[in-house]
Amino acid sequence: MKTGKETVTKRTPLHLFDAIGIELEYMIVDTETLSVRPIADELLKQVGGGINMEVELGTIAWSNELALHVIELKTNGPTPTLAELGPVFHEHVQRINHLLAPMRANLLPTGMHPWMEPHQELQLWPHEDSVIYQTFNRIFNCKGHGWANLQSMHINLPFEGDEEFGRLHAAIRLILPILPAISASSPIADGKPTGFLDTRLQVYRHNAVAVPSVMGQVIPEKIFSRSEYEGKLLKNLYNDLAPLDPEGVLQYEWVNARGCIARFDRMAIEIRLIDVQECPQADIAVAAAAIEIIRALVEERWCGLETQKGWDEHELAGLLLDGIRYADDAVIDNRRYLEALGFKGGKKVKARELWEHLLEKLVFPISQFDEWKPILRVILQEGCLARRITKALDPQPSHDHLQQVYRRLGNCLAQGKLFRAEG
């Protein structure tokens, strides 16, 4: 959870798909036990010289999160292309692991820590802007998995003006329900399988029950102009928060917790539904695939803009719930939805079949995707990361077995390689 306090500078307008912003979150864990270590401030101090919320290191910046055991790596401003971004992020992962080694700690990937006990182990960021995190905690009680134990990749896509915002928002809303099928990486919590392959999203969608309008249906409402977004969605949200936040600490657009949110401060839409993968190369491959499908929707490849705008958030949310539980095995039997994404091969398909169709049509024929094609083919053939983790574990894994598998995942992050169920 970012506070959104950013330096306002003169901005060069960026149009649709001119640039991308990527944010990756990782857990800091004990090297021996793999339990969480709340030392993100100590790590940032080593590179920033003080307790800084954010340290800029060339093309990548490191920053804090709400939980003190989480560190975020992000592109230091918009980047024109994803090409070679995986290796760049990987270099920073290695640098962080090098700095953490003397503290007997290292980074761990995936969308959730498998056995963290948030009620006992959460420590909030205690330094600059701590009042914001304290306010979140007072209103929502952050000592639960939905606040304390979740790591994601955020994708930021720019727009300029209402026409571009409307096109981009309509397209992203339509793709949100199928993102867990390719990106779910959180099948374990409290030391056992949860029954959800994307447990991060399952707990995330319940984290704002004290003020339901903060989360809504996860899928955003049918709003396609800035004036309506600010005057309706955000205004209603702020009004609902006001009795619990009379000082207005949270009266900013980043408090909106939907699966994608408008960031008018940076003129971008931020996609929040993607679990972090086992290594940055896999994250960027997933991002590249998602962006290409969004581009096809913006270009009205399969259906027109008005058709895209017409989708109700409740109908899309129903599709998303199946994706949260079953990920790539989710059955999609909504023919209107399949046709909106260019699939006309039957009355129902599994989500992995829809992704295979989309990737074969849009991604694999393009040479610029060559660095990501092998990764995406592994995801298609062996399943999303959550499924590969589940296959590697016993049905009721012991703590030792969980440690073995998640140590392998930590090694995948450190070495920049994919996780396979059979190691």
Residue 342 has φ and ψ, to the nearest 5°, of: 80, 15
Q: What is the pLDDT of residue 4?
A: 46
Phi/psi of residue 156, nearest 5 degrees = -110, 125
* C-alpha pair distances (Å), 404 with each of 114, 119, 199, 393, 400: 12, 25, 20, 9, 6
Q: What is the pLDDT of residue 374?
A: 97
| Residue 5: per-residue pLDDT | 43
Q: Tell me the C-alpha distance between 229 and 247, whole Å.
A: 23
The low-confidence residues of the chain, meaning pLDDT below 70, are: 1-11
**Residue 2: per-residue pLDDT:** 52
11 within domain boundaries: no
| Domain annotation covers residue 12 | no
Question: pLDDT tens digits, residue range 264-322?
Answer: 999 999 999 999 999 999 999 999 999 999 999 999 999 999 999 999 999 999 999 99
Look at residue 354 in the predicted model and tell me its pLDDT: 97
Q: Is residue 15 part of a domain?
A: no
Q: What is the CATH number of the domain that holds 362?
A: 3.30.590.20
Indicate the pTM of the whole model: 0.96
Domain encompassing residue 138: 21-405
pLDDT of residue 6: 43
Q: Residue 108 domain-assigned?
A: yes
**Which among 188, 112, 209 has a CA at the least distance from the CA of 392?**
188
Asked whether the beta carbons of 214 and 261 are under 8 A apart, the reply is: no
Q: What total of structural domains would you count in the chain?
A: 1
Residue burial 97-107, b: 16+ Cβ < 10 Å; e: rest: beebeeeebbb
Residue in the block written with tokens 């300029």:
160
Q: Which amino acid is at 342?
A: G
The H helix count followed by the E strand count for the chain is 18, 12
Residue pair 53/133 in contact (Cβ under 8 Å)? The answer is no
Q: List the one residue out of 373, 371, 419 whose CA is nearest residue 84.
A: 371
On whether residue 348 sits in a domain, the answer given is yes
In a domain, 171, yes or no: yes
pLDDT attached to residue 1: 54
Do the domain assignments include residue 243?
Answer: yes
261 in a domain, yes or no?
A: yes
What is the per-residue pLDDT across 223-247, written as a single tens digit (0 to 9) for each? 999 999 999 999 999 999 999 999 9
pLDDT for residue 9 = 38
